[in-house]
Every structure is written in structure tokens, then in C-alpha cells.
Copies of this chain bind each other. A is one copy, B any other.
Amino acid sequence: MNKPVPPQSLRPDPDLPTCDLRRVGAHPDHWYPVAWSRELKRGGTLATAFAGEPIVLVRPRNGPVFALEDRCAHRQVPLSKGTVDGCAVRCCYHGWAYNADGRCTDVPYLGKDRLPNGVRAYPVREVGSLILVFPGDPALADVTPLPGFAALEDPAYKTRKFGRFVRCHYSFMHENLMDMNHQFMHSKQMGQMKPRVLGQKREAGSIEVRYSFSRVGGKQPLGEAVIFGERRGADKALAERDVMTVRTEYPYQTLRISTDGQPAVMDLWICYTPQDKEQRTNRTFGLLSVRRPKVPFVIDLLWPLLVAFTERIFKEDRDIVELEQAAHDSQGCDLNQEVFPVIRSLRGLLAEEGVRLPQPAL
């Protein structure tokens, strides 16, 4: 038998960071969205997750949402299969009940003086249209700021809420949005746009990059015109005076477009909540706010166009980041050759702010 031939692609890249960014966990000491408010009915439960920890959300008929580990202390089956009983959730199997603190308040066949240990409770907040939990050290929840959704509450904006399950590490999402050179991929949807970096800013816990764009080919799409149509002709959208600011304010990301220091015409807030223990999947929660034009109702009429347009863009993005994750799974390490300084800085930020994950079982 002969000696194996080492595949050329396994040669290490001398530029690789010493840690593999795709094995860095999202730091749990932040508020993470786990559901949209409308998903959780009064008197209902909802199964969600953060990084492999199953979390049940419970909305009593009277009283605020609470969040518990989604496993009965008894036999570990999901409490989300149970029923809401007053201010408690009761496991479907043997009827054990837990209150908002996770304390076991009733076992139907056991004296109240002999009740067993309960389950973990998570700090929870409901802000705007999102339910957020704090999966880290509960003592830090109150001193950790919630994300702000200024445009969502400003009547000058109309907001689209969107989200999806994406089979990739959250870091691929951050890199995708921040590297506007990937407009190349959307050129069928958006025409050819040439981005120019105006500057970047790295601070503690955040990185920001500003771009201008010039259209080098193709036509402005109708979806984009919904956003920009009021101010300029159809062939002038994203003109050089427009500035796009993409910012990772760990763990969130925002993208704003504005002109000459005026209020943003578009304001996107987005978060990628890890789902499984190895954080190779995320659930994306996005709020896309568009400034209403002066003529009322125009934006409402054109809204379906914007929805369809953004869906096509998001689909292209999801497909490519899932291919990135698949390549990482197959290669077993991160062999990316990054040449764009902004993305190198972003990777440093995500590595510094995250936590080390346990080594994967594979």
C-alpha cells in the first residue's frame, strides 16, 4: 500500500488567526431575542433556544412573560408541551408545576413540604415586538442595556419584521452584512454597485464602517425605489452623497443609510441568536425600518414590492452563508483568506467578545 497524498487544500494559511472564529460562542451576558411577541399567545407556551439550551417562554393569562429551562426537573421532558395553570406552567407528563422563578410549586402526588428542586429561570424582557432573554449571569441582566429600536417607535418610519432559521455560525452573518463587496452577489437583483470605504471606526465592543456607492451598471430595482424614490430619479438611487453605515455593536448589527447628516432613509437592526450547542445555526431577527415619503400611503402601496425585493436579497445571503458553514464543516477548520481590513477587524472583535465553546463531538 502506498503513502497517502496530502490534499493541497489542507496546507495551513499563515494568516489564520490562532483561534477558529467559527468555534467562538456568542457571549451569553447580553440580551438575545428568542421569539416575536406575536408568536406567544396569552395562556400559551413556546419552545425556543439559546446555544443548545432549550428555553420555554410562558405567557400567563394575567401577568408578564416568563422564561424557564425547557425541561421538567423530574424527567427532563419539555415544559413547552405542558399547560399554563394560573401563574405557573405544569408539565404534561406527571403534572409538576413551576412558577416564574423556576421554583417547583406543586407535585400532585407529593406534600407541599417535600417539593423537589425546580428549574433554571431566565431574565426576560418584551421590547417592541420581540421577546428577549438573558442567557448569562442573571446578576448582570439589570445592568446590561437592552437594544434600542428608535425607528420602530417613530411614526416617520414603517418597519418590516423578518426572520429566519439559518444554518450557519453567527459570525458568517456579521461578515456578510459588513463586507459590502458582496454586492457583487446581488447584482442580478440590484444592478452593479461599486462600494467605496469612507472610513472605519473601532471602539470597545463595536466596529463601524461607512460606505458610499456608485452605480456602474444595471437599473435601479423597484424595491430599492420604495426606499429612495422620493428624493431622486430612478437611476440615481444610492448616489454618492448617500452614506451607508454598517455597525456591529456586539452582539447586534445595524445598517443605516442617510444623506448629508439627515435622518436615515433606511435603518436596519438585526441579531443572530445561536440555536444549537455548537452554534452552527442561528435564528435571525431583523427590523427593517424605512422612512415614509411625504406623500402618505405611497409606501404602503409599494410595500409588497419591498418585501419581495428584500426576500430575494435575503435568500441569496442565506444560501451563501450556509455554503460557508458547510465548507467549514467539511474542512474542519477556518481556511478563509481575508484581504479586506474591515473584516479582519470585525473578526478580531467577534473573537474578543465571545466565549470559547466546548470542543465539538465530531
Contact = CB atoms under 8 A, between A and B. Distances in A.
A315 interface: no
Given A7-B53, A93-B184, A75 B1 contact: no
Nearest to A277: B330
B8 A27 contact: no
A24 interface: yes
A240 interface: no
B117 A76 contact: no
Given A184-B93, A184-B95, A361-B362, A76 B1 contact: no
Contacts of A357: 4
Contact of A74 (B5, B9, B120, B337): B337
Given A53-B9, A69-B9, A109-B340, A323 B3 contact: no
Contact of A336 (B4, B8, B76, B356): B76
Interface in A93-117: 93-95, 107-110, 114, 116-117
A212 to B, nearest CB: 14
Q: Determine how many copies of this chain the complex contains.
A: 3
A76 B331 contact: yes
Contact of A108 (B2, B76, B184): B184
A28 interface: yes
Interface stretch (A151-159, A255-263, A299-307, A347-355): A347-355
A339 B118 CA distance: 13
Given A71-B9, A181-B109, A337-B116, A356 B76 contact: no
Chain A interface bracket (under 10, 10 to 19, 20 to 34, 35 or more): 35 or more
Contacts of A4: 25, 355-358
A116 B355 contact: no
A93 B330 CA distance: 19
Contacts of A28: 5
B73 A337 contact: yes
A137 interface: yes
Interface string A17-34: 001000011011100000
15 contacts: A2-B354, A2-B355, A4-B355, A5-B135, A7-B53, A9-B71, A52-B330, A71-B327, A75-B324, A78-B323, A92-B185, A92-B320, A94-B181, A109-B340, A361-B362
Interface of A: 1-5, 7-9, 19, 24-25, 27-29, 52-54, 69, 71, 73-78, 81, 92-95, 107-110, 114, 116-117, 119-120, 135-137, 179, 181-182, 184-185, 195, 320, 323-324, 327-328, 330-331, 335-340, 351-358, 361-362
